[in-house]
Amino acid sequence: MGKYLGQIPRRALLGAAGATGLGLAGGFFAGINVAQAKVLSGAVPVIDRLSVRVVTDSYFHQFAAADSVPGLQVSRPVRPPSKELPRTLLNEWGLSLHLESTQGSTTRRMLMDFGFSSTALNNNLDLLGIDPSQLDAMLLTHGHYDHFGGMVGFLQQHASKLKKDLPFYLGGEECFCTRETGPVNSPSNFGSLDRHAIAKAGVQVVFAERASLVADHAFTTGYIPLVSFEKPMQPSRMRVGLGADGLGCSAQGLPADKQTLTVAPDDFQHEQATCFHLKGKGLVVLASCGHRGIVNSVRAAMQVSGIRQVHAIIGGFHLMPMPADYVKTTVAELKSLNPDFLIPMHCSGLPFYEEAKAQMPGKVPLASTGTTFTLG
Burial, 119: exposed, middle or buried (Cβ in 10 Å; 0-12, 13-18, 19+)?
middle
Of 14-28, 269-283, 288-302, where does mean pLDDT reach its minimum? 14-28
Q: What is the pLDDT of residue 82?
A: 66
Read off the pLDDT of residues 163-214 as tens digits, 9 standing for 90 and up: 999 999 999 999 999 999 998 889 999 999 999 999 999 999 999 999 999 9
Q: How far apart are CA 158 and CA 114, in angstroms?
A: 13
Measuring CA to CA, which residue among 112, 173, 321 is closest to residue 233?
A: 321
Q: How many CB atoms lie under 10 A from the CB of residue 92? A: 21
Q: What is the pLDDT of residue 4?
A: 33
Of 18-22, 185-189, 242-246, where does mean pLDDT reach its minimum? 18-22
Of 83-87, 180-184, 199-203, 321-325, where does mean pLDDT reach its minimum? 83-87
Q: What is the pLDDT of residue 28?
A: 59
Contact of 279 with 288, CB cutoff 8 Å: no
Q: What is the pLDDT of residue 308?
A: 97
Contact of 289 with 262, CB cutoff 8 Å: no
Read off the pLDDT of residues 54-75 as tens digits, 9 standing for 90 and up: 999 998 877 777 777 888 999 9
Q: How far apart are CA 261 and CA 364, in angstroms?
A: 43
Counting residues of the chain whose pLDDT is more than 70, the rounded percentage is: 91
Sign of the C-alpha dihedral, residues 292, 141, 58, 145?
A: negative
pLDDT higher than threshold 90 for residue 114? yes
Backbone angles phi, psi at 103, to 5 degrees: -135, 100
Total-model pTM: 0.92
Read off the pLDDT of residues 116-144 as tens digits, 9 standing for 90 and up: 999 999 999 999 999 999 999 999 999 99
**Domain annotation for the chain: domains and CATH numbers:** 2-77+92-375 (3.60.15.10)
Mean pLDDT estimate for the chain:
90
